[in-house]
Structures are given as structure tokens and as C-alpha cells.
Amino acid sequence: MDNKEIRKGEVWLVNYEPSRRGELGKTARPSIVVQSNEGCTLLDTITVVPTSTKIEQYDEIYIYLKPTKQSGLNKPSAAICSHLYTISKNNFIKKIGTLNEQDFNYVQKGVALHLDIDLY
């Protein structure tokens, strides 16, 4: 098992190849860790929300993220909450940042909306 320390709310560059029909097609993209810290420590797979710089169609499921030094995103992006991936730690290339609390809360709400889970 890979010993990378990966934590909830972090933004990592993740390799998605090989992609299959209907999946995001890009070798690597920034992705937001949405799995619990305990799960990140115990499991060899991590659940993430990928991001895209094609932001013209975002809504409650596509969360707009401004580029910041803290997040490590260098372009306006959208968290694609309808595309959850559980992927091997071996596909995590490097940590690029961490979302602020407000942005991460929006991402969690987008995931909950997509999965029809009531957070509150």
C-alpha cells in the first residue's frame, strides 16, 4: 500500500488514465479528496471529486472554485460533484493545495445533492 498522506479537503493532481466511455477524458487533473481522514489512512483507495476548467455549465452539482494560492488551482475551475471516483493512492501524483472551509462545504453539499443525501 502507498504511504502518501492524503487528507480530506486537499486538492491533488490525480491520474485518471485509462479512461472509459462516459468518464472524464484527461490524463491528470486536480481533484478534491472527499473521503474521511480515517478512510484515507486505512484504505489503499481514496474517493475524490475531479475538477474541470470548463466552468460555463456549473450549477449546484458543479461548484465554482476561484484559483487561489491555498487551493493550488491556477485557473477558475468547477468541482464536478456528479463524477465521484474512488481511485488507488498510486494514481495520486502530487498535492497541489487545500480548499478553504467554505469551498469544501459547497463541494460536500454538491456531493450530497448528487447522492440525494440530506446533510442537515
Beta partners for residue 62, in sequence order: 80
The pTM is what?
Answer: 0.88
Q: What is the pLDDT of residue 89?
A: 95
Domain CATH number, residue 31: 2.30.30.110
Q: Tell me, what's the pLDDT at 118?
A: 82
pLDDT recorded at residue 91: 92
Would you say residue 2 lies in a domain? no
Is the Cβ–Cβ distance between 98 and 70 less than 8 Å?
Answer: yes
Reduced to 3 states, what is the DSSP secondary structure of residue 112? helix
Check pLDDT > 80 for residue 26.
Answer: no
Domain count, the chain: 1
What is the pLDDT averaged over residues 100-117? Answer: 93
Q: In angstroms, rounded to a whole number, what is the distance separating the alpha carbons of residues 47 and 44?
A: 10
55 three-class SS: coil
Cell numbers describing residue 43: 484504505
Residue with cell 484504505: 43
In sequence order, the 6+-apart residues with CB closer than 8 A to the CB of 10 are: 32, 33, 95, 97, 98, 99
- 78 found inside a domain: yes
- In this structure, is residue 3 part of a structural domain? no
Range of the domain at 26: 10-115
User: Are 56 and 72 in contact, with CB atoms under 8 Å apart?
Assistant: no
